């Protein structure tokens, strides 16, 4: 099984993919192409995605039972003791505003336990 998710990609690329995969939702394609066809489709996606992003997930013979590939994503696949995990960047995105206390825009949330969690944990 193969799942391909496109974000902000040209309509022509979506049309190309519908020759081999079924589009179940806008930008979400599923199917069972051969490994050769899947690799060719992934190269086409990387070539013609323009400013868009793409992630490809397919079944394989490993511990997780699947693997994935990303193109122009902020999160990157990282091997961790034989299991592939997504590595999330530690830098906050400068285009998003963090919400919190009044006047605290752009500040990260405080780390640690809340007062209620401390009372529950320590029985106070």
Kindly calculate the radius of gyration of the chain based on its CA atoms and give it in whole angstroms: 20
What is the 3-state secondary structure of 29-46? EEECCCHHHHHHHHHHHH
Cα torsion angle, 34, 1, 45, 92, sign: negative
pLDDT in 10s for each residue of the chain, 124 residues: 999 999 999 999 999 999 999 999 999 999 999 999 999 999 999 999 989 999 999 999 988 999 989 998 888 888 888 888 888 887 765 655 555 454 555 566 666 777 877 777 777 5
Tell me, yes or no, if the pTM score tops 0.85.
Answer: no
């Amino acid at each position: 099984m193969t799942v391909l998710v496109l974000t902000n990609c040209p309509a022509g690329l979506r049309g190309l993919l519908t020759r081999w995969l079924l589009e179940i939702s806008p930008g979400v394609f599923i199917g069972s192409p051969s490994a050769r066809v899947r690799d060719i489709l992934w190269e086409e996606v990387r070539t013609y995605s323009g400013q868009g992003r793409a992630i490809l997930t397919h079944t394989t013979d490993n511990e997780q039972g699947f693997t994935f590939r990303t193109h122009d994503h902020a999160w990157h696949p990282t091997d961790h003791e034989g299991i592939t995990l997504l590595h999330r960047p530690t830098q906050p995105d400068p285009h998003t505003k963090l919400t919190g206390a009044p006047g605290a825009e752009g500040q990260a949330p405080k780390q640690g336990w809340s007062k209620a969690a401390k009372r529950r944990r320590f029985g106070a």
